[in-house]
Amino acid sequence: MTTQRPAGLAGAGLAGELAEIVGGDHVRTDAGALETFARDATPLHRATPDAICFPGETREVAAVIELAAERGIPVVPRGSGTNLCAATVPHRGGIVLSLTRMNRLLELDAANMVAVCQPGVITARLGEAAAERGLLYPPDPGSRATSTIAGNVATCAGGLRGLKYGVTRDYVLGCEVVIGTGETLRCGGKLVKDVAGLDLTRLLCGSEGTLGVITELTVRLVPAAAANATGVAYFSDLADAGRAVSQILAAGVLPVTLEFLDHTCLETVEEFAGIGLRTDAGALLIFGQDGAAEAIAGDMSAMAEACAQNNGFGVEIADSDADAQELLEARRAVLPSLSRRAPLTILEDASVPRARLAEMVQRIDAIAAEHDLLIGTFGHAGDGNLHPTCVVDPAQDGVLQRVEQAFAQIFAAALELGGTISGEHGIGLAKRDHLRSQLGDAHMRLLTRLKAAFDPADILNPGKLAS
Amino acid sequence: MSEPPIFTEELLDRCISCGFCLSACPTYALTGEEVSSPRGRINLMRALEEGRLPADDPTLAEESSFCLGCRACEPVCPAGVQYGPLLEEWRARQWPPRTRPLRLRGLLWATNRRWRVRALGLPRRHARRRRGPGPWLMLGCFERALFPAVSRLAARLVPGARVVARQGCCGALHAHNGELARGHELARELGEALPGVILTTSGGCAAHLAAVLGRDRVRELSEWLVESGAAASSGGARPDGAAASTGAAASTGAAASTGETGARPSETGARPSETWPRPSETRPRVGLQDSCHLRNANGVWREPRELIGRVAEYVELPSASRCCGAAGTYALLRPRDSRVILDAKLDEIAAAEVDYVVAVNPGCLRQLRQGLRRRGSATRAIHLAELLATLGD
């Protein structure tokens, strides 16, 4: 990735000016620190910033943005850096604005079923705080133990419960945001119904730090389910699993979990984790439900039956929490097992409408074979969100070009089937060049105008999304 | 590249930069800065390996030292990164002998030769030489000087244990402080001096020995007691499913019933005026401080809990699994950071109102004992061997 830096960006002077705003202890410009903020969780993308600063309150965020706007310095907001689309890689240098110090849970309002928190609150901590009051914050991205709530909003993170509970955007009611002019504004609030003005809160979901820096969030909570249950079924091919999923939903069951692993994943997990999976199967489906105990029992047997009727075998429903954990182990072991096959792991998230899932996985397999790549696919069968995961040794000649070509074809296939290039990871730098093919020219132009309205100096995570 | 690699390539490649380790890292919790997280440090290692940062870069020096080396990042890592060995390789490059602090040099010197380690134990009464079918009891280096009663009581808890005087340091101290090759050499020497299964009362040594000699060659005390079913069991109700298999005939006839009266904590340096509660009178509340390496590298954490539960009311401290700040030589080399980490732990101990906090590693024992004493706390820190030998009657 090339690094284009605006001329006249004075490193030394910048550190001093930032220190005046946030305090000397909260600015880093040493080469080592810059090195560690050059990357997030995305492979193949790195670029060092000129400074990192850690504001402690909204006023400081606004002052940093004002300074940056005046001087034309890029600002890249960052939470825990767990995103998988290089959204927080500062490819034009500038300031990384780390919001980890603003990590207070300000209010848990059980009466209104909302939580108000600072941007750096860890997602899992919000979940725990809600659980203590018998409530649930449903979005559960894989990185929830580390990711920040504002990072989740900025990338509109998904998770395993998408089909039943939706994704991050469905739970954000309001926010405080500093836009590119340095102005601070509030949108939305604790209300479920509020139509005063445009829904800017929702616009910020998935904006990847290009429209503003979120400095406070109000999120919606729901009552926690009383119980949950998990089961599994094998299929000789994924198409059968797809039919089982359709039948489950047609029967009026809305499961909380519907995860699948393809044959490559099954084989790899068994090779590295040896947990007794059947490698003669073409796919594994993990299904689960939460709710009142009696309702769950009915749903679980309906799901098991739908699997059996569609040539499912080895159907099993866990009797205890411990057994359920064992069944889920296969899903948890996929990424670690795949990543052990080669030094570089590229995890993508092209998605298609649920009914085209099996077809899409077939296409992925064909593309992998064409380019002689190992791609295992797993993901969320309930919402069509796939995770084709490619593992390669980057030292091999020309392998990265092959990977790039393969993923370009995978994205094209997803669009052809009525899907998207990204279900839940985001666009960032990683898929910037593919966005136009999904959105089209008019849509891209509108995004560019929107970006200019929020950020006239083009300093907020510039060069990403539509800017 | 003509330079020999600093890091084992497969170890460094394993990290997929997902960041799951951040939430487990005590130093990241202190600073909130990527640079003091495991992922950040691995990126620093990569920059060093690839020449993007020079070896004398001050951030490299600071972060290789600020890291506790507790390896809490390992169990949460989905990609199975072995951070401990990477840190050892990093420090082997980062801490050349002449730049080491004097205090550290003294420690490494003292434990570098077998006779010096033996001399450390001379003035105190550690476990005496004894023949037996095994396992081979390790006396430790500083443990035999600071807490001699621990090996003595361990020998009583494991009547079959064989004790020989000719044994040195396991080399963990060296491996963690920049002398990786010597650390491995010492472990192998100890493996020859104790040629069977090595029984240790120190979690840190257990992990280092397992890494060098193989997991099968090492048993930490709690692990041995649970596996052999020989631990004291009459003092309290056994938790469900805790019944250990009764193998190892050599170790049956639990030590606690051999007629010796319970050791008093005064033997290991606690205040002599302490009145030790007898199990018949009270059932003390007892918390645990895990040994980080024992838990994170060797996967032993249920065992000490189970054993405590048999003789006392076990209380899980909220951060039992997190580092106490002792971290080998850390408390000595970075006393201020060590204190910050310890202070949070001491607050927790006070809130939990426990009578005892059990340690399974001498470094943690020293750290907790000093901290509790400084606060004038009524809670006492003791080694698991002391608790079991005393309450297990």
In this prediction the ipTM stands at 0.92
Residue B280 reports pLDDT greater than 80:
no
Pairing of strands B136-137, B198-200: parallel
pLDDT of residue B262: 36
pLDDT confidence of B2, banded at 50, 70, 90? low
Interface test with A, best of B10, B11, B23 (most A CBs within 10 A): B23
- With H, G, I as helix, E, B as strand and everything else as coil, classify residue B304: helix
A209 plus A264 within the same structural domain: no
The model's confidence at residue B104, banded by pLDDT at 50, 70 and 90, is confident
Residues A140 and A194 in one domain: yes
CA separation for the pair B255, B336 (Å, rounded): 41
Let me know whether A410 and A424 are in one domain. yes
CA distance A412 to A421: 8
Give which of B10, B14, B33 to mutate to test A binding, by max A Cβ within 10 Å: B33
- The CATH code of the domain that includes A95 is 3.30.43.10
A166 with A116, same domain: the answer is yes
Return the number of other C-beta atoms located less than 10 Å from residue A415's C-beta: 16
* pLDDT at residue B103, rounded to an integer: 78
What residue has token string 């809600």?
Answer: A130
Is the residue at A437 inside a domain? no
Do A294 and A403 belong to one domain? no
What integer pLDDT is reported at residue B298 of this predicted model? Answer: 96
pLDDT (0 to 100) of residue B239: 36
Under an 8 A CB cutoff, do B13 and A343 touch?
Answer: yes
Residues in B closer than 8 angstroms to A41, CB to CB, are 16-19
Instruction: Give yes or no: residues A219 and A230 share one domain.
Output: no
Q: Which residue would you say has higher pLDDT here, B122 or A30?
A: A30
| Domain boundaries, given as residue ranges, for chain B | 9-82, 102-225
CA distance B191 to chain A (A): 30
List residues of chain A with CB under 8 Å from any CB of chain B.
Answer: 28, 30-33, 35-43, 52, 54, 80-82, 98, 100-101, 103, 120, 122, 124, 143, 145-147, 332, 335-336, 339-340, 343, 345
Which residues in chain B are closer than 8 Å to A35, comparing Cβ atoms?
43-44, 47, 52-53, 59
User: pLDDT tens across B319-345, in order?
Assistant: 999 999 999 999 989 999 999 999 999
Residue of B nearest to A37 (CA): B34
In whole angstroms, give the CA distance from residue A344 to residue A339: 7
CATH code of the domain covering residue A270:
3.30.70.3450
What does the DSSP 8-state code read for residue B165? S
Rounded to whole angstroms, the Cα distance separating A53 from A46 reads 18
Of A188, A223, A258, which marks where a domain is finished?
A: A223
Please state the length of chain A.
Answer: 467
Of A100, A126, A141, the residue that ends a domain is A100
Residues A164 and A267 in one domain: no
Lowest mean pLDDT among A111-115, A328-332, B308-312, B368-372: A328-332
Contacts of A246 (CB under 8 A, 6+ apart): A354, A355
End residue of a domain, out of A329, A356, A382? A329
Q: Which residue in B23, B33, B60 is closest to A122 by CB distance?
A: B23
Residues from chain A that touch B14, judged by Cβ atoms under 8 A, are: 339-340, 343
When pLDDT is cut at 50, 70 and 90, the band that residue B96 belongs to is: confident
Task: Label residue B281 by pLDDT band (50, 70, 90).
Answer: low
Res B236: pLDDT: 35
CATH of domain B9-82: 1.10.1060.10
Q: Please state, for a pLDDT cut of 90, what percent of chain B lies above it.
A: 68
Mean pLDDT of chain B: 85
**Are residues A110 and A96 part of one domain?**
no
Same domain, A218 and A231: no
**Residue A154 placed within a domain:** yes
Same domain, A153 and A246: no
Q: What is the CATH number of the domain that holds A109?
A: 3.30.465.10
Alpha carbon of A35: minimum distance to chain B alpha carbons (Å): 7
Q: Do A15 and A40 have their domain in common?
A: yes
d(CA B8, CA A120): 35
Q: Considering only CB atoms, which chain B residues are within 8 Å of A329?
A: none
Q: If you ran DSSP here, which 8-state letter would residue B261 be given?
A: P
A143/B53 touch (CB, cutoff 8 Å), yes or no: no
- Contacts from A36-39 at CB under 8 Å and sequence distance 24+? A36/B34, A36/B35, A36/B37, A36/B39, A36/B40, A36/B41, A36/B43, A36/B44, A37/A78, A37/A81, A37/A90, A37/A96, A37/A98, A37/B34, A37/B35, A38/A89, A38/A90, A38/B43, A39/A81, A39/A89, A39/B17, A39/B43
Supply the CATH number for residue A387's domain.
3.30.70.2740
Integer CA distances (angstroms), A278 to A235, A314, A335, A467, in order: 10, 9, 18, 48
Residues of A in contact with B18 (CB under 8 A): 41, 82, 143
* Residue A311 and residue A357 in one domain: no
Alpha-carbon distance B116 to nearest alpha carbon in chain A (angstroms): 40
Question: Which among B44, B57, B79 has the least Cβ separation from residue A339?
Answer: B79
Measure the CA angle with vertex B285, ends B280 and B290; round to 5°. Answer: 125
8 Å CB contact of B34 and A30: no
Contact A142, A127 (CB under 8 A): no
State how many domains chain A has: 4
Domain of residue A36 covers 11-100
- Inter-chain touch B16–A98, beta carbons under 8 Å: no
- Contact B234/B392 with Cβ under 8 angstroms? yes
Residues of B in contact with A124 (CB under 8 A): 23
Rounded CA-CA distance B257/B159 in Å is 11
Instruction: Inform me whether the pLDDT recorded for B263 exceeds 60.
Output: no
* pLDDT by 10-residue block (mean), chain A, 467 residues: 46 86 96 97 95 98 98 97 96 97 97 97 96 96 94 94 94 98 96 92 97 98 94 93 92 93 92 87 95 93 96 92 83 85 91 91 95 94 93 92 95 96 95 94 96 97 89
